Amino acid sequence: MSDQKQLFKGKTAADRISAQGSDQLSLPRLGFTFWIAISWMVLVIVAAIVAPLLPIADPEEIGVGPRTQGPSWDNWFGTDSNGRDVFSRTIWGARISLVVGFFSIVAGFLIGGTMGVVGGYRRGWTDQALGFIVFVLLSFPVIILFLLISNIVGQGLWEVSIALSIVVVPSVARLARAITITFAEREFVAAARILGATNRRVMVKEILPNVLIPMSALLLLGLGLTIVAEGGLAFLGLSVADGFSWGKMIQLGAAPRTLQTAPWVAFFPIGAMFFTVLSLNWAGDRLRQHFDIRELGIGGR
């Protein structure tokens, strides 16, 4: 962990020097918009963590305010048809959205990253077999794939995260493989092998740190992707069975009657999800440019 931090610092320092010096190709700065995006993320995450301590209404309590009332001083985001406070529900809804999004992207990176690094380093039939698996995963309609897995594992918080991670595995595996290949033939890898390092050691100690840095930008973009995917699943009633996330709130708010009489019930969680995904995309893209990774269109799916 400390190794990574030093590498990170070293890179930005080098970047600063080259920017001060000649007009050579310097890495783009992160810029203040990057920090705005990060601030929003911190705000959302902190609010989600300390939600039980905040002086807000109980999200499940019926009749906190008058029923179906637009945004007011007492209920900032209005109330739904059961008189529940939409503001407090939006904060509480962030919990499942963020947790499922976070764990599925982490699981997706573990699975896809391992596949990519192993395939890109070993090459040969291992690479071909892994490439075939990635292509098969891509050919599935995502919803069928998800239903198959969630049929096996169930609808708890962790289970949904694991099932959802499959959505990002193909993109992550492809990218990790592409980056690994650029490093696998480099001198320091050859040196490690000549010194007698095992394949596993080379992959973990030599290649993985180099793959991780550029991939970290994709982690943010991917988190945006999984948060949206969880929203979609919740919309179909397939996400975590207990509790509610932004997606679940949007689904409830999008019922024809509710949408007609109380559009704010759907619109506020949509807004929360939108700003969160926007700041993740923005921060991720700035990081990606900072590390100079070619655009691969991961945001498309």
Partner 1 sequence: MAGVMVAVTFVVFSAMNVLGDPLFNVVGFYASVDCDSVLAGETEDVIGTVPGTGKGECEVVAEARAKYHLDDPLPVRYGHWIVGMLQGDFGESYKNQMPVSTILAERLPKSVLLMGMSVVVALGVAIPWGVAAAYRANRGFDRVSTIGSFSLLSIPGFALGIILFYFFVVRWQIFPSRFKDDNLFSRLHSLVLPAISLGLPLAAVYQRLLRTDLITTLQEDFVIMAKAKGLSDRRIMFRHVLRPSLFGMITVVGLNTATLLGGSIIIENIFQIPGFGRELFVSAVRDDNTVVLAGTVVAAAAFVTINTVVDLLYSYLDPRVRRDV
By CB under 8 A, is residue 282 in contact with partner 1?
yes
Q: Can you tell me which of 142, 192, 197, 213 binds partner 1, judged by CB under 8 A?
A: 142
Name which of 44 and 277 has its Cβ closer to partner 1: 277
By CB under 8 A, is residue 139 in contact with partner 1?
yes
By CB under 8 A, is residue 266 in contact with partner 1?
yes
Name which of 173 and 207 has its Cβ closer to partner 1: 173
* Shortest separation between residue 280's beta carbon and partner 1, angstroms: 8
By CB under 8 A, is residue 23 in contact with partner 1?
no
By CB under 8 A, is residue 254 in contact with partner 1?
yes
Q: Can you tell me which of 228, 240, 249, 287 binds partner 1, judged by CB under 8 A?
A: 228
Of the candidates 288, 279, 252, 284, the residue with the CA atom closest to the CA atom of residue 268: 252
Question: Residues 19, 26: contact at Cβ < 8 Å?
Answer: yes
By CB under 8 A, is residue 231 in contact with partner 1?
yes
Neighbouring residues of 197: CB distance < 8 A, sequence distance ≥ 6 = 205, 206
Environment class of 299 (CB within 10 Å of its CB; exposed 0-12, middle 13-18, buried 19+) = middle
CA gap 155, 94 in Å, rounded: 18
CA gap 124, 120 in Å, rounded: 9
CA gap 157, 183 in Å, rounded: 37
By CB under 8 A, is residue 115 in contact with partner 1?
no
- Cα-Cα-Cα-Cα dihedral sign, residues 101, 103, 105, 111: negative
Residues that bind partner 1 (CB under 8 A): 132, 135-136, 138-144, 147-148, 151-152, 224, 228, 231-232, 235-236, 250, 253-254, 256, 259-260, 263, 266-267, 270, 273-274, 277-278, 280-282, 285, 295, 297, 299-301
